[in-house]
Amino acid sequence: MTVLVSRFALIAVLALSACDDKPPAKPAPAKTVQKSAPAQPAVVAAPPAAAASSPLAQTINAATFDPAATDPEAHRNLLIRIQTLLDRAHFSPGVIDGRDGTNLTLAIKAFQTSRSLTPDGAITQALVETLTAGDAGPVLVDYTITAQDEAGPFSPAIPKDDYEAMAKLPALDYMTPLEMLAERFHMDEALLQALNPGVDFGVAGTTIVVTAAGADTLDRKVERIEIDKALGQVRAFDKDGALLATYPATVGSTERPAPSGEWAVRTLAPRPTYTYDPSRLTFGKPKGKLTIKAGPNNPVGSTWIDLTKDTYGIHGTPDPKLVNKRASHGCVRLTNWDAAELGSAVNKGAKVVFMGAEARAK
């Protein structure tokens, strides 16, 4: 996909994009980090919130590994706990949904490797004990919906892939309070609803159960990023080569592959806009160039990390549950929260290495 991106401090400079996901955007310098850290990724404690009060939430907070268990609900409860703990340890499973899947397996393997466990991706007693050893906080907490949450702003329903309709909107905000809250807490919307049956998520003062997901920051600067095209995974390292975080990613496709070799981070663009240029695209129907405003439902999500490989970047997505499930048109797609976390710590000039080959067809 081809779009335009602006890179500027005070004056915008437009550059052509060859991937499906490139915006004109106002970059901002990457945020600095606050402190040094030990050799392996720090386990981040749960946010300072009380454990959720509902019986189901209490059961999930106490979920343990039982090799003889056959109850699907018990398995789901354990997966929710493991996914949330991995998220807090910066081994992202993508969307927290209480389901098995490739993204969870990738996160478990990376965590196991970092803790000298057998990297087989299996859920074991050793995995649960290691995850909880440095993070015993609850994975589900109560949250009271605020007046600001209720107020939004919210965008009307956005027709999928209708760029002309998108371009008419003043912003591509969340469409519902449910979508907003699910993304804020790194959750699948269906899971948020299942934990809060019958709840109207648009009513201020309502107390709901949410995951105590990790903060979207890292404790060290990112100096090297590996993009594994075969696995669908992004790995972030500090200056000493210590692994800081891993993220599931959609990386190109066999039809429109991502680049290969070593590049670098050029700049960071929070809240990017997106330019659709039909003269350079092979999809969509608009007859003229369109600019789509910023917002989490923008085609490139809420963060753009621009690379020195012209027209390519690492960015968010309006469809977090599809990360590493569907091919892209060349760029590297993360959940909005994972893109924000990586962007919060990446240094300008950080090395970006593409490795492997795309396995996913368009």
DSSP code of residue 336: H
Q: What is the pLDDT of residues 67-123, one digit of tens each?
A: 998 999 999 999 999 999 999 999 999 999 999 999 999 999 999 999 999 999 999
Q: What is the pLDDT of residues 163-205, one digit of tens each?
A: 889 999 999 999 999 999 999 999 999 999 999 999 999 999 9
Return the pLDDT at 134.
Answer: 84
Rounded-to-10 torsion of CA 155, 201, 71, 51: 120
Percent of the chain surpassing pLDDT 70: 80
Listed in sequence order, the residues at least 6 apart from 344 whose beta carbon sits closer than 8 Å to its beta carbon are 30, 31, 216, 217, 218
Largest CA distance in the chain: 63
For residue 304, name the pLDDT band (cuts at 50, 70, 90): very high
Is the pLDDT confidence value at 46 over 50?
A: no
Q: What is the pLDDT of residues 221-269, one digit of tens each?
A: 999 999 999 999 999 999 999 999 999 999 976 566 778 899 999 999 9
Mean pLDDT for the chain overall: 84
Give the CA distances from residue 349 to residues 30, 50, 71, 246, in Å, rounded to whole numbers and listed in that order.
Answer: 11, 41, 49, 19
Return the pLDDT at 225.
Answer: 98
Percent of the chain surpassing pLDDT 90: 70
Contact indicator for 87, 96 with CB cutoff of 8 Å? yes
Residue (of 322, 328, 315) closest to 19 by Cα position: 328
47, with CB counted inside 10 A (0-12, 13-18, 19+), is middle
* 153: preceding bond cis by omega (within 30 degrees): yes
More confident site: 20 or 18: 20
Q: What is the pLDDT of residues 104-119, one digit of tens each?
A: 999 999 999 999 999 9
- Count CB-CB contacts under 10 A for residue 243: 20
- Count CB-CB contacts under 10 A for residue 181: 21
Strongest mean pLDDT among 1-10, 153-162, 348-357: 348-357
Q: What is the pLDDT of residues 32-42, one digit of tens each?
A: 333 333 334 43
In the chain, the domains with their CATH numbers are 4-34+220-355 (2.40.440.10), 68-131 (no CATH)
